[in-house]
């Protein structure tokens, strides 16, 4: 059974049929509604924008842009009933894009309450077409489809949507249908060469955009959204990392009660923020479990112990499970299978430790939205499965512990802001992401102790040189991959046949897309020379210049 997931993304999974319920619901059942305040201290009083999801690949990006304007928003399915929306007291609605055509049989439509609620509505692409179709306009296939860059020209420079913007701005189009007749009361606010009605609006704050303001290719897109939020919806921008922390602390306390939480601590920023957040909420009721699975980078264990046990004074149990994980991974070459096995073994270790603890009830994880969207979940029906993340698809359905994931709907940059708000150091908060399955997915093929040692040594060189070049903070991730290829080499007077290491470095904002980093040639030269000289089993180094898409950041 599936129930609506809480807007924060923190959920509780119960054993048996794995019922997924919002921890807000559970807290209210246990303690009463007033014990679970929203961000500003009063349930339902925060200003909220509701984004209705019609299946666009950019739907979470819309939510991200709204939050960047310091306005809280929730992304919900397009057919969410009013009973679930009303408590949010929305200041406005945004209708996302989507793959359908409004004139197709069974095409999704916006609920009547969107247009009856008397609050502003912004329709984007398909959202604009739905607005036109349902309010009495006409949508038809376009004679000239419009994909990619276009130039938007204003018809009404006094429109609040275009406040402080040039008369003509570059935008990003992606549509095959177009509004060729506006609903009664609407007027054209802007046009492009191929779309006479690229923006339409009326005097009630209903606006339709044929382009995508949420993508980076629309140069002033965030400004346009900000104008809608502030000047049309009347938002004040009160949603901040501080408010998020205050809300989560209260909700975690309400959910956990007198129970105990164990946190899967990896040393990365995600689990660090989760652990610190929960520690602030329930103190010594939290015990962090650091599993050394043998798949970590060099000196990773020592760093984790230093930060969390000595500096943050958390209860911390260290478990050396290297032999267990390597035994489970023996003979496995498929990356999906690796992830599933690692996730399964993690839970077994945690539950064994929990059995030794009195009243261990909850397991906390640092799951983020990019993990979820790449791993098809019930809350994310429209997403295409790219790969299973060990902490999303790798959890067993009969798990005894209830699951807490307070960062589940946040992007990495939002998590970092929350970490700084919690008082974590910049060194910890701005650590580059490290995958939950560790080095297992950076070894192509079977994982062995010998390969792990080679990869650790190569990765150490990459990180050391990147930091010496003062490029660490400029890169989203930089690491080494031990490929499944071997090559002939000559070292001294001897023929060698060794591993090929690939170096990967990318820039990104949120890991949803990424570009390969243009590292200086002399830096690449130093990395290559050091790896070949310092890692005996490696005799060749290559540099990966693939962006995401079409590739992914990790190789597996």
- Catalytic residue numbers read 125, 212, 214
The answer to whether residues 290 and 317 touch, using CB atoms and an 8 Å cutoff, is: yes
The answer to whether residues 438 and 296 touch, using CB atoms and an 8 Å cutoff, is: yes
What count of other Cβ atoms lies within 10 Å of the Cβ of residue 104? 9
The answer to whether residues 519 and 471 touch, using CB atoms and an 8 Å cutoff, is: yes
State how far the alpha carbon of 158 is from the alpha carbons of 185, 221, 516, in Å.
17, 18, 42
The answer to whether residues 476 and 470 touch, using CB atoms and an 8 Å cutoff, is: no
Q: How far apart are the first and last CA of the chain?
A: 31
Strand 20-22, strand 48-53: pairing: unpaired
Distance, CA of 277 to CA of 259 (rounded, Å) = 16
The answer to whether residues 366 and 270 touch, using CB atoms and an 8 Å cutoff, is: yes
| Backbone φ and ψ of 548, nearest 5° | -115, 120
Which among 320, 416, 318 has a CA at the least distance from the CA of 366? 416
Distance, CA of 321 to CA of 346 (rounded, Å) = 9
Measure the CA angle with vertex 74, ends 136 and 102; round to 5°: 25
Distance, CA of 350 to CA of 395 (rounded, Å) = 12
> By 3-state DSSP, what share of the chain in percent is helix, strand and coil, each rounded to 5?
35, 25, 40
Half-sphere exposure of 542 (CA within 13 A, CB side): 13
Distance, CA of 36 to CA of 250 (rounded, Å) = 6
Segment (H or E) for 351: helix 335-355
Which among 92, 23, 75 has a CA at the least distance from the CA of 409? 75
The 3-class secondary structure across 373-404, one letter per residue, is HCCCCHHHCCCCCCCCCCCCCCCCCCCCCEEE
The answer to whether residues 394 and 435 touch, using CB atoms and an 8 Å cutoff, is: no
Strand 199-201, strand 206-209: pairing: antiparallel
Which among 514, 231, 264 has a CA at the least distance from the CA of 407? 264
| 285, two tokens | 């009721």
163 burial class (0-12, 13-18, 19+ CB within 10 angstroms)? middle
Which among 96, 117, 40 has a CA at the least distance from the CA of 71? 40
Which among 57, 68, 40 has a CA at the least distance from the CA of 411? 68
| Backbone φ and ψ of 188, nearest 5° | -80, 125
């Amino acid at each position: 059974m599936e129930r609506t997931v809480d807007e924060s993304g923190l959920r509780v999974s119960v054993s048996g049929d794995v019922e997924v319920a919002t921890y807000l619901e559970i807290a209210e059942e246990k303690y009463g509604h007033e014990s679970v305040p929203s961000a500003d201290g009063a349930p339902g009083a925060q200003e909220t924008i509701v984004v209705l999801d019609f299946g666009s690949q950019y739907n979470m990006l819309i939510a991200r842009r709204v939050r960047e304007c310091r306005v809280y928003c929730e992304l919900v399915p397009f057919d969410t009933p009013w009973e679930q929306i009303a408590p949010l007291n929305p200041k406005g609605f945004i209708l996302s894009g989507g793959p359908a055509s409004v004139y197709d049989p069974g095409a999704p439509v916006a609920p009547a309450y969107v247009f009856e609620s008397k609050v502003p509505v912004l329709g984007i692409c398909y959202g604009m077409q739905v607005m036109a179709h349902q309010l009495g306009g006409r949508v038809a296939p376009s004679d000239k489809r419009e994909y990619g860059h276009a130039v938007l020209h204003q018809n009404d420079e006094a429109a609040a949507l275009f406040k402080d913007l040039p008369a003509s701005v570059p935008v990003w189009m992606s549509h095959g249908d177009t509004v060729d007749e506006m609903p009664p009361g609407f007027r054209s606010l802007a046009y492009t060469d191929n779309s006479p009605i690229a923006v339409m609006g009326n005097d009630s704050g209903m606006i339709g955009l044929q382009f995508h303001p949420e993508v980076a290719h629309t140069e002033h897109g965030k400004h346009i959204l900000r104008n809608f939020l502030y000047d049309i919806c009347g938002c004040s921008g009160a949603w901040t990392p501080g408010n998020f922390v205050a809300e989560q602390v209260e909700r975690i306390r309400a959910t956990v009660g007198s129970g105990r939480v164990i946190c899967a601590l990896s040393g990365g920023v995600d689990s660090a923020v989760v652990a610190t957040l929960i520690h602030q909420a329930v103190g010594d009721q939290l015990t962090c479990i650091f599993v050394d699975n043998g798949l970590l980078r060099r000196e990773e264990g020592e760093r984790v112990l230093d930060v969390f046990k000595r500096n943050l004074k958390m209860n911390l149990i260290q478990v050396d499970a290297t032999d267990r994980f390597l035994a489970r991974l023996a003979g496995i070459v498929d990356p999906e299978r690796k992830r599933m096995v690692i996730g399964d073994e993690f839970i077994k270790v945690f539950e064994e430790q929990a059995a030794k603890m009195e009243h261990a009830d909850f397991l906390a994880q640092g799951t983020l939205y990019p993990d979820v969207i790449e791993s098809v979940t019930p809350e994310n029906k429209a997403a295409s499965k790219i790969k299973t993340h060990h902490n999303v698809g790798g959890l067993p359905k009969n798990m005894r512990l209830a699951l807490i994931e307070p960062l589940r709907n946040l992007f990495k940059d939002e998590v970092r802001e929350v970490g700084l708000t919690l008082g974590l150091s910049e060194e910890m908060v701005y650590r580059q992401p490290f995958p939950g399955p560790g080095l297992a997915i950076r070894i192509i093929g079977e994982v062995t102790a010998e390969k792990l040692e080679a990869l650790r040594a190569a990765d150490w060189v990459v990180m050391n040189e990147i930091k010496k070049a003062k490029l660490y903070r400029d890169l989203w991730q930089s690491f080494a991959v031990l490929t499944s290829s071997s090559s002939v080499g000559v070292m001294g007077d001897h023929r060698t046949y060794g591993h090929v290491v690939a170096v990967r470095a990318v820039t990104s904002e949120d890991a949803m897309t990424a570009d390969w980093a243009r590292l200086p040639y002399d830096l690449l030269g130093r990395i290559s020379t050091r790896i070949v000289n310092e890692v005996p089993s490696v005799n060749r180094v290559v540099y990966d210049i693939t962006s995401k898409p079409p590739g992914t950041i990790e190789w597996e």
